[in-house]
Every structure is written in structure tokens, then in C-alpha cells.
Copies of this chain bind each other. A is one copy, B any other.
């Protein structure tokens, strides 16, 4: 390539998630200059965020400084800055930390939660994408019990200890199961005025069944398991309103102490930055080699891209897909830096689907293997510990799980100051909700 004549290829990677990190690692020995830019200083292991939200793990268990992961790669620098735009003509990324010219660009900026045109619901129903979301949800969940403990009116206590999880995908199912576990097993001895074991946990799904990505039999298994744990699973129940007092689901008002949004995601602003074609979720349409059509120097990967698998089905927005794309692109760039021939198209290999259902059960669907119950949970645990980065985190997380499994404890039940927008006011909201219910009853 022309630029290579004046020095090593400058590769800029935007995003230190699963895709961006794998792309950088695949370039470890390539004769290129890698700059990885992320607005956070840490990589977040999103599949375990729900365990931080439910006080089982601490932020440091599931987040690692990106610098630490890549510190051994001499050709790579990591910068913490917010992307503000991409200039395709001059090949430069504008960020809060200055402009960075590139010869090759990898856009791996992920996705965020989407409210389908109801962004005003966000303050009342946070999603679960960043570590701050997880500590925010943890705070709301625990604060609801604290506020209920202070409430004299049983109806107010009942409203405050009702939790609604919107969306019956894997995140919603895992959150509902974990909330039920904490409420039933970890908290009851701690309260005098409130019985956390009586907390209502509702999993609300607009579609006909939960876990649509899994075979119907496994979805039904999970639904039965959740129901046995005391989770109320409402399918075919669209949520039409969310406010400080709770939700309207299937036309019915449900007063709640906390609401969590697990119903949808939208891609990051990459399509805007690139002025690119995208689907309704904002994901950029890419060519078979994951480049932006007309721009062979720009790759878009992970949750930011829409790609079809071998059967023409869209590649799911899961960590293994992002990692596979990151490795593919890293190797493609390494080959280009060595002037190797044209690359084959990206092929997605679906490795399977996993989801926990409470503290000792999981469903696992691999190619030839289906597991449920404790066997599924054991498999799930091994896989997730394996994919954590660093021996220190593996030991720490495995120890936490083993400890909690034996003691039913939840160590990280900390309410820390809110970050970002002010939280909903559960007390007054719940009171309002209770009043309206009371007046209807009259």
C-alpha cells in the first residue's frame, strides 16, 4: 500500500470491547502501529455484568484495564478518549483527545440499550451495558428494600419490593433469576419490617416466549425453572409505559421499586460517523470481508455491524461473534501489512447459546450438546471462568462463586452514590402508585 512506504501502517481501533481487543491482539506481531481508543479505561466482560448488578461480583472482577491487557504489545498504544467523528476523506478520527490519522481503521464501538423511540424511559429503567449501569441497578434494587424497611404502609412496601425486568432474552432471564436468588436467600435475615422472600420479580416479554434464540424446549424449561423460583413470567405482554412509579404492561399498571431494561439494543453512532448504510438498529452494512463498501481501509465489526452467517441469517450480537470478527480483521490487516493476497470472506461459527437460571441452574445449547440444571450451570461456570482475562480474575471469580454457592451470601451489597442522572424516587412514586390503586379499589 502507498502509506506503507513511509513507515509502518497506522491501524486505529475504536473500542476496547471483545471485537476491538481481539483485533489488537491479533496484530501483536504484525509490522503495524496500533492505536486502540476507548472512552473507558477498561474492558468490560458484559456477559457477567448481571452478576455485578445482583451483588455477586465486584466491578473489578469483570472489568480490566485495557492497558494491562495490551501492555506486552510493543507495537500498540492505548488511549482513553471519546470519538467525535470520522473523516473518511482525510482518513482521520476526531476524538476528545485530538485527531488520529489512520491507514486502516477498525470500528468496534459496540451497542447500547435502545428504548424503541421511548428514550424518556431511560431514567426509570436503566439498561445493562456498562459497569456504571450494573452498580446503578444494584443500588436501585438494594435501595428499594431500604426504603421499604422504613415504610409503615404494607401496600407501599409491596410496591417497593416489586421488580420488573423488561425483556425475556438471556440478560433478562439471568437478571430475573439472580434477583430472585438474592431476595429469597441472601437478604431475608437482614430485614425486620420487610420480608425480601416475598418480593415480586416480574419478567415481562412482548413476544410469545422467553429466550427466543434458544430451542422452544429450553425456553420452556427456563420458564418453568424461573416460575419455581418465584419469578412471574409474563409473555405476550408489551410494556407501553415506564415512569418513576413502575410500568404499564399488557395494559395493566404495575407499581415497582425498580425497573430494568433488557429489551433491546441499538448500535453505537458509527453509522453516523461513517455516513454509512445501516439497518433499523443502526448497525452498519458491511461487505463479506467486514469492510465498509467503497472503503476497503475501514472495517466495522461486532455489535456495530450487520453481517449474515453462512445460512444468510444475521450474526447475533454476542461476545463470541464480536471476538471472531476481531480475530478475522486483525489477521486480515496483518496479511495486508505483509502484502499477502486477498482474504476469504468472514465466516461466523456459532458456538452455542448459554444462560443461567438462578444460582445453580443454566441452559446450554451447543451443536450436539444440550444441558440443563446443575450440569448446565457447571458447564456455564467453567466456560465463563475460562474466558475471563488473567489468572487473578479467574481465581477471584471462581472463589466468589464457590463461596456464595455454599453460603448463599452476596458479598457486594454496597449502595454507592449514583453516577449520572438522578435516580427515580421510589418512595414517593410507589406512594403515588399505591394511592391510585387504593382509590380504584374504593
Query: Which residues of A come within 8 Å of B, CB atoms?
Result: 40-42, 58-60, 63, 65, 67-68, 71-72, 77-81, 97-98, 131-132, 135, 142-143, 146-147, 149-150, 189-193, 392-393, 395-396, 399, 403, 407, 409, 411-420
Q: Which 9 A-B pairs have the closest CB atoms?
A: A417-B419, A67-B190, A97-B150, A60-B412, A80-B146, A71-B189, A77-B192, A41-B415, A65-B413
Of all chain B residues, the one with the shortest Cβ separation from A97 is B150
Interface of A: prevailing SS = mixed
Chain B nearest CB from A294 CB (Å) reads: 31
- Which chain B residues border A135 with CB–CB below 8 Å? 416
Q: Which of B77, B81, B392 contacts A193 (CB 8 A)?
A: B77
Chain B nearest CB from A39 CB (Å) reads: 10
* Contact A414 B41, beta carbon cutoff 8 Å: yes
Of all chain B residues, the one with the shortest Cβ separation from A418 is B419
* Contact B72 A189, beta carbon cutoff 8 Å: yes
* Contact B150 A417, beta carbon cutoff 8 Å: no
8 contacts between A and B (CB under 8 A): A41-B414, A63-B414, A65-B414, A67-B190, A68-B413, A392-B403, A396-B411, A419-B419
Of all chain B residues, the one with the shortest Cβ separation from A188 is B71
* Contact A59 B190, beta carbon cutoff 8 Å: no
Chain B nearest CB from A149 CB (Å) reads: 6
Of all chain B residues, the one with the shortest Cβ separation from A403 is B392
- Which chain B residues border A68 with CB–CB below 8 Å? 190, 413
- Which chain B residues border A63 with CB–CB below 8 Å? 414
Chain B nearest CB from A382 CB (Å) reads: 21
* Contact B60 A414, beta carbon cutoff 8 Å: yes
Bound Cα distance from A147 to B41, whole angstroms: 11
Bound Cα distance from A147 to B97, whole angstroms: 8
Of all chain B residues, the one with the shortest Cβ separation from A152 is B98
Bound Cα distance from A78 to B145, whole angstroms: 12
Bound Cα distance from A79 to B152, whole angstroms: 13
Q: Which of B59, B81, B192, B399 contacts A416 (CB 8 A)?
A: B59
